[in-house]
C-alpha cells in the first residue's frame, strides 16, 4: 500500500507537473491557491507535519539604554497517526519543542534554554487562532490584534506586548514559499517584519526594568522543508533604520553552493514587497569556531543584493544554541548590527545559521 501511494505521488508530481496534495506519509502539502483566513491561519494546522512560530527582537532598557536581543521559537512536529496505538490518555502524535535565548549586548553574555513535551497538558497550540505554549512559555494573539509573549531563560524573565506596525506579509509565489526541487519542499510563510514591543525584563540578579524595542515574527507551515541534497540554511530578518525590512534565506547544497530556490525580499515600511531576487550573494568576511561543538560558523557576513551591500555583524560572537534534549541539534542564532559599506550603523538583524555540524 505504501509503495502504491508513493508511485501515485511520483506520477502526479513528475508526469502531470502538479504539486501533490499530500506527502507519501499522508500530510498536506503547501500548494498554490490556499485560501488564507485570519485569525484561523495564525493557529495550529494539524494536517501539516511541521509548524513553527518564531519571534526575535531588539530591546532597550528604558532607564539606562542597555541593549538586549531575544529569541523565542515554538515548534510543532507531527507523526503519522497510524503509528500511535492503544488508549492511553498520554498518547499523542504531536511533539512540541521550544527554544528561548537572551543576548545581553551590554554585558556581552548569552543564555538559552529548551523545552520538549508531547502535545497535551504541558504543551499545545490552538486551532483557529494563535495560542501556543510550552510549560510556562507562551505566545498568544489578543482580541485587539496584538500579541502577548512570555519566556524565561536561566533565571531571567521577559514579558512583552507586541503590536504589529505593518500588514502581514505572505512570502512566496501565490502563497507558497519554495525550498527545493522536490514538489513537497515548500511552506506557507507568514511574517510581521516590524512589531512594536514593550514590557518588562528581569535579570538573574533580580533587577527588573521596563524595555521597549522592535520585534520580528514568523509563522511557517510545512510538511517538508530541506531536500536530500541540501545541508542547511542561512536566514536573516533585517530591520533598517529607514523603515524598510529585508528577509533572505540561503539554502546550502551539500557541496556548499547556493540552491536556486534561495531568495531575498525587500519590504517597505508598510510591509509591502517592493523587490524579490534570487540573484543575491552572501560573502563571509569572518568566521567563529564554537568551543562547545567545535563547529566553524560564518560570523560577519556581507549581503550583496544587486551591488547594494549590507554588513551583518554579530553583537557578540557567542550566540550558539547547543541542544541537549531536542535531538542534539545545535545552531547559531543571534542579534546583529547592520552596517553599510562605509561602516555606518543602518539597522538591526537576527541571523540564523543551521546545518554546519
Q: How high is the mean pLDDT of the chain? A: 91
pLDDT band at 171 (very low <50, low <70, confident <90, very high): very high
Say how many C-beta atoms besides its own lie within 10 A of residue 22's C-beta. 16
Compute and round to an integer the Cα radius of gyration of the chain.
20
CATH of the domain at 182: 2.40.370.10
Per-residue pLDDT, 223: 93
In the chain, the number of structural domains is 1
Q: Which residues contact 165 (CB under 8 A, 6 or more apart)?
A: 194, 195, 196
15 within a domain of the structure (yes/no): no
92 within a domain of the structure (yes/no): yes
Rounded to 5°, the CA angle 154-158-164 comes to 140
**Class of residue 230 by CB neighbours under 10 A (exposed 0-12, middle 13-18, buried 19+):** buried
pLDDT at 341 over 80: yes
Per-residue pLDDT, 90: 53
SS3 104: strand
> What secondary structure letter does DSSP report for 184?
T
pLDDT band at 240 (very low <50, low <70, confident <90, very high): very high
10 within a domain of the structure (yes/no): no
6 within a domain of the structure (yes/no): no
Q: Across residues 303-317, what is the average pLDDT?
A: 98
pLDDT at 105 over 60: yes
> What secondary structure letter does DSSP report for 40?
G
CA end-to-end span of the chain: 37
Per-residue pLDDT, 57: 98
pLDDT band at 182 (very low <50, low <70, confident <90, very high): confident
pLDDT at 96 over 70: yes
Each residue of 53-76: pLDDT tens digit? 999 999 999 999 999 999 999 999
11 within a domain of the structure (yes/no): no
pLDDT at 319 over 70: yes
239 within a domain of the structure (yes/no): yes
The 10 Å CB-count burial string (b at 16+, else e) for 314-325 is bbbbebbbebee
- Looking at 2-6, 47-51, 269-273, 286-290, which range is the least confident one? 2-6
pLDDT band at 80 (very low <50, low <70, confident <90, very high): confident
pLDDT band at 82 (very low <50, low <70, confident <90, very high): low
Q: Which residues contact 206 (CB under 8 A, 6 or more apart)?
A: none
Share of the chain above pLDDT 90, in %: 83
Better-predicted residue by pLDDT, 238 or 23: 238
134 within a domain of the structure (yes/no): yes
Each residue of 11-64: pLDDT tens digit? 333 333 468 899 888 999 999 999 999 999 999 999 999 999 999 999 999 999
The C-alpha atoms of residue 264 and residue 235 are separated, in whole angstroms, by: 10
SS3 8: helix
Nearest to 355, CA basis, from 255, 234, 248, 273: 234
Domain range for 176 is: 23-353
The owner of cell 502577548 is 148
Has this prediction a pTM greater than 0.85? yes
**Class of residue 208 by CB neighbours under 10 A (exposed 0-12, middle 13-18, buried 19+):** exposed
Amino acid at each position: 500500500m505504501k509503495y502504491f501511494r508513493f508511485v501515485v505521488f511520483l506520477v502526479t508530481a513528475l508526469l502531470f507537473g502538479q504539486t501533490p496534495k499530500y506527502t507519501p506519509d499522508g500530510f498536506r502539502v503547501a500548494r498554490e491557491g490556499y485560501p488564507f483566513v485570519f485569525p484561523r491561519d495564525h493557529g495550529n494546522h494539524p494536517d501539516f507535519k511541521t509548524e513553527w512560530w518564531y519571534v526575535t527582537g531588539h530591546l532597550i532598557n528604558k532607564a539606562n539604554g542597555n541593549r538586549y536581543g531575544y529569541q523565542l521559537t515554538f515548534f510543532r512536529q507531527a507523526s503519522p497517526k497510524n503509528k500511535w496505538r492503544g488508549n492511553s490518555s498520554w498518547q499523542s502524535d504531536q511533539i512540541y519543542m521550544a527554544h528561548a535565548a537572551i543576548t545581553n549586548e551590554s554585558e556581552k553574555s548569552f543564555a538559552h534554554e529548551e523545552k520538549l513535551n508531547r502535545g497535551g497538558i504541558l504543551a499545545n497550540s490552538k486551532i483557529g487562532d494563535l495560542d501556543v505554549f510550552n510549560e510556562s512559555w507562551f505566545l498568544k494573539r489578543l482580541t485587539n490584534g496584538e500579541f502577548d509573549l512570555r519566556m524565561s531563560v536561566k533565571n531571567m524573565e521577559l514579558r512583552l506586548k507586541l503590536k504589529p506596525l505593518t500588514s502581514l506579509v505572505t512570502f512566496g509565489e501565490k502563497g507558497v514559499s519554495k525550498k527545493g526541487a522536490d514538489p513537497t519542499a515548500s511552506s506557507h510563510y507568514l511574517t510581521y517584519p516590524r512589531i512594536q514591543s514593550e514590557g518588562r525584563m528581569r535579570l538573574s540578579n533580580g533587577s527588573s526594568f521596563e524595555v521597549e524595542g522592535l520585534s520580528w515574527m514568523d509563522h511557517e507551515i510545512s510538511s517538508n522543508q530541506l531536500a536530500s541534497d541540501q545541508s542547511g540554511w542561512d536566514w536573516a530578518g533585517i530591520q533598517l533604520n529607514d523603515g524598510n525590512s529585508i528577509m533572505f534565506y540561503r539554502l546550502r547544497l551539500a557541496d556548499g553552493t547556493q540552491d536556486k530556490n534561495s531568495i531575498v525580499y525587500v519590504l517597505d515600511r508598510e510591509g509591502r514587497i517592493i523587490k524579490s531576487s534570487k540573484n543575491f550573494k552572501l560573502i563571509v568576511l569572518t568566521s567563529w569556531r564554537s568551543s562547545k561543538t567545535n563547529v566553524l560558523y560564518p560570523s560577519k557576513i556581507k549581503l550583496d543584493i544587486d551591488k547594494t551591500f549590507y554588513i551583518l555583524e554579530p553583537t557578540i560572537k557567542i550566540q550558539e544554541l547547543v541542544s541537549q534534549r531536542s535531538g542534539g541539534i545545535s545552531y547559531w542564532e543571534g542579534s546583529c548590527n547592520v552596517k553599510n559599506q562605509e561602516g555606518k550603523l543602518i539597522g538591526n538583524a537576527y541571523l540564523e545559521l543551521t546545518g554546519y555540524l
